[in-house]
Amino acid sequence: MGIARVGILALIAGAGLLSACSNGNDHAVAPSSSAVSTTTSTTATLLPPRPDGLPALFPSDFPLPPGLKVQESTGTGVTAVVSGTVQGSSEDFERFYDERLPKLGWKLHTDTSSGCAHIYSRHQLTVTIVCGANPASASSSTFQLTISSTE
């Protein structure tokens, strides 16, 4: 009988402790969307790079112009950046993407694009394309492709 009394007293004490620590809400709180997002982005960082060396966040159908030389490539799972040089003028580079990306379902954001700085989106991805003259070579241009996911 003594053990039963101790058990009951422990339950009462535990209930009192939970009551004291409670904020008065009697319902469970669902995890925030940021907690889910953090889990998703952590998982995404484990993806291997694509066979062409681009970070895995770049879709497999993302076109690359001929003569592209990647000098730097980084990816965090929710954002990836590729930069380097490409043969031809910055206008050629810009035209390459302006002709191909819309055919692949990418939408140009004309309100935030100008010169050789364009922003496209498709599904949960946004890509920013920036290019310019290469001071080291008149026959090539510099570029940076930044892709990010809203997932």
CATH of the domain at 82: 3.30.310
Tell whether 90 is covered by a domain: yes
The boundaries of the domain holding residue 91 are 49-149
The answer to whether residue 5 is domain-embedded is no
Quick one: pLDDT at residue 49?
Answer: 60
In a domain, 122, yes or no: yes
Q: How many domains does the chain have?
A: 1
For the stretch 38-90, pLDDT in tens is 223 333 344 556 656 788 899 999 999 998 999 999 988 899 999 999 999 99
> Residue 6 has what pLDDT?
31
Is residue 12 scored above 50 in pLDDT? no
Coil, helix or strand at residue 116: coil
* 66 domain residue, yes or no: yes
- Cα separation of 78 and 38, whole Å? 10
What would the DSSP string read from start to end of 7-55?
HHHHHHHHHHHHHHH--S--SPPPPPHHHHHHHHHHHHTTPPPPTTSS-
> How confident is the model at residue 42, as a pLDDT?
35
8 assigned to some structural domain: no
Specify if 99 maps to a domain. yes
Residue 27 lies in a domain: no
- The verdict on residue 103 lying in a domain is yes
Only one residue has tokens 């966040």, namely 57
